[in-house]
């Protein structure tokens, strides 16, 4: 079984907030090892905002659009997407990445 750890290092689209560092700390402290030690193959992807932003809503939207694509790629590749994020606003991008048919 394959797991895709998806790192979203933002707090409402902002990479300057202290909570945006949490995803990196999780990876540095062995988040992937939890899965590999249980027989999973792990890949790590990082979502980028990809653009400058004028406000939090714009930044969050950009992050969620890219997160949606990353989750979709993991699902198509038959991986389990596990999202490591700095804030709950990314739940929209996570849900949008799954087929709802």
73-98: pLDDT as tens digits? 999 999 999 999 989 999 999 999 99
Contact present, 66 and 48 (Cβ < 8 Å): yes
Whether residue 24 is contained in a domain is answered as: yes
Q: Determine phi and psi for 64, rounding to 5 degrees.
A: -65, -35
Whether residue 101 is contained in a domain is answered as: no
Helices vs strands, H then E, count in the chain:
4, 3
Whether residue 14 is contained in a domain is answered as: yes
> Euclidean distance between the first and final Cα of the chain, in Å?
24
pLDDT at residue 6, rounded to an integer: 98
Rounded Cα–Cα distance for residues 40 and 58 (Å) = 36
User: What is the number of structural domains in the chain?
Assistant: 1
CA distances from 85 to 37, 47, 75 (A): 22, 10, 18
Between 58 and 52, name the one with better pLDDT.
58
Average pLDDT over residues 37-46: 97
Residue 94 sits at the vertex; the CA angle it makes with 54 and 52, to the nearest 5 degrees, is 20
pLDDT band at 49 (very low <50, low <70, confident <90, very high): very high
Q: Residue 79's domain spans which residues?
A: 2-96
Whether residue 47 is contained in a domain is answered as: yes
Whether residue 49 is contained in a domain is answered as: yes
Out of 2-6, 15-19, 48-52, which region has the weakest mean confidence (pLDDT)? 15-19
């Amino acid at each position: 079984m394959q797991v895709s750890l998806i790192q979203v290092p933002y707090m409402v689209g902002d990479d300057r907030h202290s909570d945006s560092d949490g995803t990196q700390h999780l990876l540095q402290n062995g988040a992937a090892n939890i899965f590999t030690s249980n027989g999973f193959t792990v890949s790590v992807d990082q979502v980028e905002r990809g653009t400058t932003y004028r406000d939090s809503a714009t930044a969050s939207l950009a992050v969620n659009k890219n997160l949606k694509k990353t989750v979709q790629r993991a699902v198509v590749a038959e991986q389990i997407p596990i999202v490591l994020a700095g804030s709950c606003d990314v739940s929209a991008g996570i849900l949008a990445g799954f087929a709802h048919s």
